[in-house]
Structure 1
């Protein structure tokens, strides 16, 4: 299959490695020429970790979006979620056909809705969009030309907006760990990062600023108090999902499926022990500043759209509201401006039933 991988970070680099290994014809795009320069010098993307080690060599490496996506069957977007709207507009302007698949890896919460709406605001009919609930990798770019992949998701949730089962089949051919769910509200509400990151990010602000993140986020910072807040937030997520007709696993059960909580964990109500005992995340450092994506992405494009969905569902989410307000105060940012609002997702003013109809349309 001809796949354009869009995004110069660790997720995009890992996807190039995996898809190239699987025999797909891969083209690779990043906005920044300086990001691509080390890969161009090497002639590919070096990788190590759970995908093995070697150099993946895409057919094209370029910052010219039109050249990269030309003749491709799938556009795989591996950018941070705050880039989805701008990427949708760029793809629309580059002439991406409205009948060709876009896959958001990850879409997180509201990704497909925002992407499709942004594509349409560019004057084009939105293509079918498959979103994954979370990134299929635990990966870091520790060198400019190399990605280290410490984990590969065993399972992530996948749903399609504006498409059908054939588009989900294509996505699962590319990523066998993608497990289809009935609609994008289900995949939206399986976004583990908005539950996993936000309590520790808010409650650990002083430690982040005092140490520049010199502690492990999932072990040192996973205290009993943080875990209790996380569990309460998770219950709010499950209540919102239930209001939309979805019965979802709790955070620990979902992380077991992904592979970031160990498979032999029996007590899925013990959030602290289960998360701190996960091997894939054990050595990951905390944010080094309040500019880190845990603050910039997981609130404005995680908790914000979650709160918007909760409002449409008619479900109170006081812990989410409190974490959101504290993050805005601590970071000194208005997440609503430029964030994933109901307007940005194209769902402002919809009733619960109308939103369910929108995401269920085939």
Structure 2
């Protein structure tokens, strides 16, 4: 299958290498020409995973977005949520009917990108899909080298508008067999693990993150007290899902840490392999890092506003959002990706259901 991968994130490099290694025709785009030069010059990425290290050839690596996207059945865009609107505007002139844009994960980016596409003048009928997590636990180890520590074994995914789901899942399944079908894009947003795992870890590790040159929030930073907060936050997410009519499976984050019971998105021992790699021992600047700007300002702010809209009490989510806002000096309840910011707070349940099923009606 012809696949375009867009964006220079860890996930972008992993997706380009992994999908090309699987035999797909992969074209890879990154905006930053200087940083991308080693990949463009060699038209390849060095991939390190459980099978060892090897060089993976790409069909095309280019800073020409149109050339990368043209003719692709699937466009994989594993970039932070705060970059989705700009990417959608850049993509708009190049999109064609029938293409599927995959956001792993999305924070309701399916709606954001579809609206940005329309606002930019694109009339192409495109399905936007978002998953509950990135398909990989991954980090770049150099300008053209990426390590994949774990591949997702379950990828719960929702599509916006939902009426395009059959086509979208037929395409997605050819690239990612682990995809599991959800009802719509908001369903996908509400299984996103990032806004549940990362806000407690960065807020409650704020001191060590500021003090040490590097700190592993998934190793030393994941203590029983923090896990209890994470579990309480996740319970609020599940309560919001239930109030909105989304049934099980809810993919509870506690399964990520268990060695038995229901398998989570990264399968058995995903957390252990993440910690053992030491790839997440890193410097995190709370003011700018994506855990704050994506998982708090987009994902957690969305959850808090959805809880209020659905009439669900969410004191942990609300408190974490307030503390994170105070830490960076910005009120994310006002500036973040909320129902109010998306223009959806005034919708009733029926109108919301129509929007999720059919998309915005011109």
TM-score by length of 1: 0.89
Q: Which of 283, 292, 295 is the aligned partner of 2:292?
A: 295
The DSSP-based 3-state class of the residue aligned with 1:257 is coil
Corresponding residue for 1:279?
273
* Per-residue deviation, 1:261: 5.3
Deviation at residue 253 of structure 1 after TM alignment = 2.6
Judged with a 3 Å threshold, the aligned counterparts in structure 2 of structure 1 residues 41 and 95 are, in CA distance, closer, same or farther, namely: closer
Name the counterpart of 1:221: 221
Q: Any conservation in 1 of the 2:43–2:60 contact (CA below 8 Å)?
A: no
**Partner of residue 269, structure 2:** 262
Take 1:187 and 1:127, find their aligned partners in 2: how far apart are those partners?
Answer: 17
Secondary structure of the corresponding residue to residue 105 of structure 2 = coil
Q: Aligned to 1:324, what secondary structure does the other structure show?
A: helix
Q: Contact 1:113–1:346 at 8 Å: present in 2 too?
A: no
Question: What is the aligned partner in structure 2 of residue 191 from structure 1?
Answer: 192
User: 2-side partners of 1:260 and 1:296: how far apart?
Assistant: 27
| Separation (CA, whole Å) in 2 of partners of 1:74 and 1:259 | 23
| SS at 2:126 equivalent | coil
Query: Cα offset for 1:52?
Result: 4.3
Alignment partner of 2:108 out of 107, 110, 119: 110
For residue 164 of structure 1, report the CA deviation from its aligned partner: 2.6
> Aligned residue for 2:88?
88
Residues 199, 18 of structure 1: CA spacing in aligned structure 2 closer, same or farther, 3 A cutoff? Answer: same
The answer as to whether partners of 2:103 and 2:129 remain within 8 angstroms in 1 is: yes
Distance in 2 of aligned mates of 1:26 and 1:37: 17
User: In structure 2, do the counterparts of structure 1 residues 42 and 344 end up closer, same or farther at CA, with 3 Å as the change threshold?
Assistant: farther
Partner of 2:260: none
Q: Could you say what secondary structure the match of 1:197 adopts?
A: helix
Query: Residue 74 of structure 1: CA displacement?
Result: 1.9
The alpha-carbon deviation at position 225 of structure 1 amounts to 1.8
C-alpha contact (below 8 Å) 2:153/2:266 kept by paired residues: yes
Instruction: Report the CA distance between 1:154 and its aligned residue.
Output: 0.8
Instruction: Please provide the CA RMSD for this pair.
Output: 2.1
Distance 1:333 1:98, change over 3 A: farther
User: Is the deviation greater in 45-54 or in 10-19?
Assistant: 45-54
Give, in angstroms, the shift of residue 227 of structure 1: 1.2
Calculate the TM-score normalised by the size of structure 2. 0.89
Aligned length: 346
State the shift of 1:338 in Å. Answer: 6.1
| Structure-2 separation of matches of 1:308 and 1:261 | 33
- Which secondary structure state, in structure 2, belongs to the residue aligned with residue 150 of structure 1? strand
Contact 1:77 1:104 in 2 (8 A): yes
How many angstroms does 1:122 deviate by? 1.6
Is the 8 Å Cα contact of residues 154 and 267 (structure 2) preserved in structure 1? Answer: no
Q: In structure 1, what is the Cα distance between the partners aligned to 2:118 and 2:312?
A: 29
Deviation at 1:286, TM superposition (A): 5.1
What is the match of residue 267 of structure 1?
Answer: none
Are 2:329 and 1:332 equivalent residues in the alignment? yes
Equivalent residues in 2 for 1:29-108 (5 A)? 29-50=29-50, 52-92=52-92, 94-107=93-106
Gaps of 5+ in 1: 264-274
1:18-33 matched pairs, under 5 angstroms: 18-33=18-33
Shift of 1:16: 1.2
Relative distance call for 1:21 and 1:115 in structure 2 (3 A) is same
Q: Structure 2 CA distance, aligned partners of 1:356 and 1:198? A: 29
How many Å apart are 1:346 and its aligned residue? 5.1
